[in-house]
Structure 1
């Protein structure tokens, strides 16, 4: 642990939040099963990254949205204790409601001003059916919403990339496209390892970042995959 006047450097919380589309279209062609499997497979990798940086306490939870939104895992849970229970798909795509609920949790309190920037991962296969813009405005009005690392994964070709890009809010970071289960696993592993590692790095290691970005984003896996026989979504 790094030393500083007065004692050891205190552990800082890093909130990692999955925001998962559970609308009815996610039940088609095994999308929701693939999402459940990919997140579950990512957990050992997340734990390894967290173990490498004892100055960050990685806390994980999950928000699901369909007809309305609800916390799938409501309490910030230490990554070593986090377990994934399968999501089921049904209903419409109330992304705006999900972002409003997310904004409520990123206020101070319950957040603290000494946390590390949260990592928010939005995964969707469609288009919002409610007032997405209002929810996004509420999220961005919160300091931790604006400072968060926001990543989006598009499942299939019907996902609204413009909406996902607005959620990300950085022109140099693009939505990741997953047209099959293998691509989804690859993207989720990247978010839960490379992005998490960057977000948990001490601030003293971060230099030369673009404006409005306080966490270096590693080079992602290619967001564009050529059409192939195994592209099922």
Structure 2
């Protein structure tokens, strides 16, 4: 591998971080379908990663309920990643989860030559802590500002205003997942399109961090007249 400027580079990391709402309102079918959808999306993420050999896809997961915690804090290469089902518990402390993520979006621990990270937020409710402070912490990091962001709103009670602010781009909208079928489609899209966008090298100083417009368009999910609606 050449270290000469402009020479070939391989295995620049793309850090993909799920931020998953595991509050009590997610109990039952919602959490079961979320676990199923992510587990089924992992092979598709592997396929996308194999199509982008210059990028190394690394996965992590934060869950937030009464507390926020890492399900996978150490980045796991997608080929080695096995989904662990999440469980529901209590409140919706999104702000705490964002603070956890913000600490990982510094350099270090993020390598300077990484590609843009992906932050994928999934929620069905309203935050119960100071989420604005958490979002401010993410936005204060260089990698947080440049991240490819995706937001999925599960059901009618999801706070789309919060998800819109998380996206940080008025041209982007949260994906509405109002049924199991739509949730599966949204997770599948977030797992693949966002990775493709993040895997594109950015022109500039070679660090992979420079201002860019997020290069993806959210899909229009089909209506599900014959499906359960949340």
TM-score by length of 2: 0.91
Q: Partner of 1:203: helix, strand, or coil?
A: coil
Q: Secondary structure of 1:80's partner?
A: helix
How far apart are the structure 2 equivalents of 1:139 and 1:192?
Answer: 21
- Residues 179 and 224 of structure 2 are in contact (CA less than 8 Å); yes or no, is this contact kept in structure 1? no
**Shift of residue 68 of structure 1?**
1.2
The aligned residue for residue 50 of structure 1 is: 49
1:149 to 1:7, Cα distance in 2 relative to 1, 3 A: closer
Mapped to 1, the partners of 2:181 and 2:226 lie a distance apart of 13
Deviation at 1:199, TM superposition (A): 1.3
C-alpha separation between the residues in 1 aligned to 2:41 and 2:135? 27
**Is contact 1:147-1:214 (8 Å) kept?**
no
Shift of residue 2 of structure 1?
9.2
- Residue 32 of structure 2 corresponds to 33
Structure 1 residue 213, shift from structure 2 partner: 3.0
Listed as ranges, the gaps of 5+ residues in structure 1 are: 205-210
Tell me the distance in 2 between the aligned counterparts of 1:212 and 1:186.
29
Alpha-carbon offset, residue 23 of structure 1: 0.2
Residue 23 of structure 1: aligned partner? 23
- Mapping of 1:1-233 within 5 angstroms? 8-28=8-28, 30-203=29-202, 212-217=211-216, 219-222=217-220, 226=223, 228-233=225-230
Deviations 1:79-105 (A, max 9, x none): 000110100111100000000010001
Q: Confirm or deny: 8 A CA contact 2:182 2:224 kept in the other structure.
A: no
Alpha carbons 2:181, 2:227 under 8 Å: kept: no
**What runs of 5+ residues in structure 2 fail to find an aligned partner?**
204-209
Deviations 1:156-210 (A, max 9, x none): 0000000000000001110000011111111111111122112112335xxxxxx
Distance in 2, matches of 1:42 and 1:20, equals: 15
Question: Structure 1 residues 96 and 78, CA, compared in 2 at 3 Å: closer, same or farther?
Answer: same
Q: Does the CA contact (< 8 Å) of 1:49 and 1:196 recur in 2? A: yes
Deviation at 1:11, TM superposition (A): 2.0
- Residues in 2 aligned to 1:105 and 1:176: alpha-carbon distance in whole angstroms: 25
Aligned residues of 1:21 and 1:125 also touching (Cα < 8 A): yes
Residues 1:77 and 1:170: Cα distance change in structure 2 (over 3 Å): same
Count of residue pairs the alignment pairs up: 224
Could you tell me how far apart the structure 2 residues matched to 1:60 and 1:72 are?
A: 11
Distance 1:73 1:170 in 2: 28
